[in-house]
Amino acid sequence: MLNYEIEDATKVLAIARSLKKYRAPFRIVDGYRLIDNGVDPEATVQIEANNRVIHEASNGAGPVDALANVLKKGLIPLFPEIARVKLVDFHADILDSKRGTSTDVEVTIIFTDGAELWKVHSLSENINNASFNVLVDGFEYAILKWTLRKKKK
């Protein structure tokens, strides 16, 4: 069996965000909008970075796919490297099924840029919100990784 090293990006981001000097490479303006009619979900988002605000909309095969597509679509003009990022695995765990539909869900996504792997996880009562947070963090981690690599050169 093959073993691959998967960086815990959630832990790395938590540590980085605890530092006073940390500045996120982008921010989400007013959250996201998700319209899911069960057939053709659509997501919209506004992203602010580099003194620009980009407003995008995108569809997907499901709500999480629509959220991933809209984030990539909005981030690529600001950070072209994001085009290389792919979602390798999506996993959701229901933490307390006795709470029914109000239970917490932990979403984990594994990302790759073709050379490295990293995972991010988030907890929420709303699976779409947890998924969105994971996607944002996964892309933020990728941008930070590439930014640090450029500074070392």
Residue 98 has pLDDT above 80, yes or no: no
Q: pLDDT at position 99, please?
A: 66
11 domain residue, yes or no: yes
pLDDT band at 13 (very low <50, low <70, confident <90, very high): very high
46 domain residue, yes or no: yes
Separation of alpha carbons 54 and 14, rounded Å: 26
The residue among 3, 1, 9, 6 whose CA lies nearest residue 115 is: 6
| Number of domains the chain contains | 1
DSSP letter assigned to residue 26 = -
Percent pLDDT > 90 in the chain is: 82
Which residues constitute the domain of residue 55?
A: 6-152
Strands (E) in the chain, as ranges, are 6-8, 27-35, 42-49, 52-59, 86-94, 105-112, 117-124
69 domain residue, yes or no: yes
pTM of the predicted structure, to 2 decimals: 0.92
Residue 142 has pLDDT above 90, yes or no: yes
1 domain residue, yes or no: no
CATH code where residue 87 lies: 3.30.160.270
45 domain residue, yes or no: yes
